[in-house]
Structure 1
Amino acid sequence: MELVWRPLTTADIPAVAALYNAAEAVDDTGELLSEEDFAESFGKADLPGGSLAVLVDGRLAAYGLVALRDNPVGTHRVRLDGAVHPEFRREGIGRQLLPRLATLAHDLHLARHPDLPLAVCTMVESRAEGHVALVEKLGFGADRYFYELEVALGESLAQVPIPSGYEIVPFSAARDEEVRLVCNAAFAQHWGSVERSPEEWAASFTDSLRFVPESSFLALFQGAVVGFVLARHYPVVEEMTGVRELWIGDVGTLEEHRGRGVAAALLSRTLAQGRTQGYHRAGLSVDSANSTRALGVYERAGFEVARTWIDYGLPVAL
């Protein structure tokens, strides 16, 4: 089987989305993505220097993307994303794809952050035995575990009271920059977190088609933002499963305001608003070793673990 390797282009987006969802039909990771979602990913990526298309007889058999961060601190963890079409698995493509992506990540890293150490990483759903075996064979180690949680938005949702002295208000574009700065401060001590630049923030929220400001809320203390819940919606999930899901992209509270019920009250408003807007369930991801006890907040809100993801990492010599 002759493989042709080249960078991805935006013209590949339909084929990449089709390949990804063919793989998802087999792997059942719960991660569904549309052409629009890939258009956003491609827009953030360096396609000529940080992507690969693998062709067999002109057909897309696999793809890979390198995702760098804007403002890395300490070790620069560069994410490698990709998939092999189920019809082309067990042909050794994945064993070639990941090392090639790591080489691209190395070159991009040296051009942008030459003074920082580099590690490449990739997320693997824990039940994907073949994927787990592949990354471990290539030397990747399990660095962190993340729980994907879900809750049905039924009538049993409890309304959590707002702590005394605080106010909860809908997200406002006028506070966008303030929320970005609070988000960076709230996640400053979280494992693997880096500051989001204005450009990265806009791509993830302000300018993203997936951001749902009407289901996002802010906590104020003396008129200033001290906490937030920012929600997203991926229409492809509803299109492919019939389930309308509200994805809780980020939940955070400034350190000095933690332990007072701020996050629980914010989350309660978001879930209630989601139910009013016709969402069937809400989902989110949380670091299993989160030091802020976020998992307990989510469990008390009714969330339960649906899947476990493993963040595999591999240090790369410079």
Structure 2
Amino acid sequence: MELVWRPLTTADIPEVAALYNAAEAVDDTGELLSEEDFAESFREADLPGGSVAVFAGESLAAYGLVVLRDNPVGTHRVRLDGLVHPEFRRRGIGTRLLPRLAELARVLHVSRHPGMPLTVCTMAESRSAGHVALVEELGFQADRHFYELEVALGESLAQAPIPSGYEIVPFSAARGEEVRLVCNAAFARHWGSVERSPQEWAASFTDSPRFVPESSFLALSQGAVVGFVLARHYPVVEEMTGVRELWIGDVGTLDEHRGRGVASALLSRTLARAGEKGYQRAGLSVDTANPTGALGLYERAGFGVARTWIDYGLPVAF
């Protein structure tokens, strides 16, 4: 089988989305992406220097994408995303693809953050035995585990009280910059977290068609933002599964306001509003080693574990 390797271009988006969803039909990871989702990620990527398309004749057999961080601190963790089409698996493509992506990541890293340590990382769903075996064979180590949690939305969900001295209000674009700064502060000590720049924040929230401001809420103390729940909606999930899902992208509270029920109050309002808006399910991802007790918060809100993801890392010498 003769393979052609070249960088991705935006013209490849339909084929990449088709490959991704063909793989999802086999792998059942729960991660569904549309052409619009790939268009958004391609806009943020360095396609000439940080991507790979693998063709077997006219067919896209595999693809890979290097995802850099805007403001790395300490160690630059560069994510390597990619998939091999189910029809082309077990032919050694993945074994060649991942090291090639790691080398592209090394070159881009050296040009942008010389002197900073580099770790390339990739996520694998725990039941994807082939993916797990591949990354471990290539020397990647499991650095962290994440639970993907889900809860069905309905009348049985309890409404947590708003603690004294706080106010829960809907997200307002006028507070966008304040929320960005609070978000950066709330996640400052979380594993793998980096500060979001104004540009990255806008791409993820205020300018993103996936952001759902009407189901996102802020906690105020003396008029200032001290906590938040920020939600997204991915139409492709509903299109492919028939389930209208609200994705809870970020939940956070400033250190000095934790342990008072602020996050519980925020989350319960988001879930209630989502139910009113016709969402049938809410989902989110949580670090199993999160030191703030976030997993307990979500379990009390009715969430249960649907899947487990493993963040694998490999330090790169240069």
Shorter-chain TM-score bucket reads over 0.9
Deviation sequence 1:60-108 (CA, Å, 0-9, x none)? 1000000000000001000000100000000100000000000000000
- Once residues 56 and 221 of structure 1 are traced to their aligned partners in structure 2, the CA distance between those partners, rounded to angstroms, is 59
1:250 is aligned to 250
State the AA in 2 paired with 1:208.
Answer: S
* Number of equivalent positions: 318
Correspondence list, 1:178-257, <5 A: 178-257=178-257
2:62 is aligned to 62
1:114 is aligned to 114
Aligned-residue sequence identity (percent) comes to: 85
- Once residues 199 and 83 of structure 1 are traced to their aligned partners in structure 2, the CA distance between those partners, rounded to angstroms, is 28
State the AA in 2 paired with 1:109.
Answer: H
Correspondence list, 1:1-318, <5 A: 1-318=1-318
- Once residues 97 and 202 of structure 2 are traced to their aligned partners in structure 1, the CA distance between those partners, rounded to angstroms, is 31
State the AA in 2 paired with 1:255.
Answer: D
1:206: Cα distance to partner?
A: 1.0
Deviation sequence 1:29-83 (CA, Å, 0-9, x none)? 0000000000111011000000000000021100000000000000100000010
1:237: Cα distance to partner?
A: 0.3
1:178: Cα distance to partner?
A: 0.3
- Once residues 232 and 15 of structure 1 are traced to their aligned partners in structure 2, the CA distance between those partners, rounded to angstroms, is 25
3-state secondary structure, aligned to 2:205: helix
State the AA in 2 paired with 1:253.
Answer: T
Deviation sequence 1:99-138 (CA, Å, 0-9, x none)? 0000000000001001210000000000000000000000
3-state secondary structure, aligned to 2:192: coil
TM-score normalised per structure 2: 1.00
Deviation sequence 1:135-173 (CA, Å, 0-9, x none)? 000000000000000000011010111000000000000
3-state secondary structure, aligned to 1:206: coil
1:184: Cα distance to partner?
A: 0.2
The ranges of structure 1 where at least 4 consecutive aligned residues each deviate by more than 6 angstroms after the TM superposition are none
3-state secondary structure, aligned to 1:55: strand
State the AA in 2 paired with 1:282.
Answer: A
- Once residues 206 and 64 of structure 2 are traced to their aligned partners in structure 1, the CA distance between those partners, rounded to angstroms, is 27
State the AA in 2 paired with 1:88.
Answer: F
Deviation sequence 1:169-223 (CA, Å, 0-9, x none)? 0000000000000000000000000000011111111111110011000000000
3-state secondary structure, aligned to 1:98: helix
- Once residues 203 and 69 of structure 1 are traced to their aligned partners in structure 2, the CA distance between those partners, rounded to angstroms, is 13
**Structure 1: unaligned runs, 5 residues or longer:** none
3-state secondary structure, aligned to 2:120: strand
State the AA in 2 paired with 1:187.
Answer: F
3-state secondary structure, aligned to 1:139: coil
- Once residues 311 and 70 of structure 2 are traced to their aligned partners in structure 1, the CA distance between those partners, rounded to angstroms, is 19
- Once residues 97 and 205 of structure 2 are traced to their aligned partners in structure 1, the CA distance between those partners, rounded to angstroms, is 31
State the AA in 2 paired with 1:72.
Answer: P
- Once residues 272 and 265 of structure 2 are traced to their aligned partners in structure 1, the CA distance between those partners, rounded to angstroms, is 11
- Once residues 206 and 19 of structure 1 are traced to their aligned partners in structure 2, the CA distance between those partners, rounded to angstroms, is 30
- Once residues 211 and 54 of structure 1 are traced to their aligned partners in structure 2, the CA distance between those partners, rounded to angstroms, is 33
- Once residues 219 and 35 of structure 2 are traced to their aligned partners in structure 1, the CA distance between those partners, rounded to angstroms, is 34
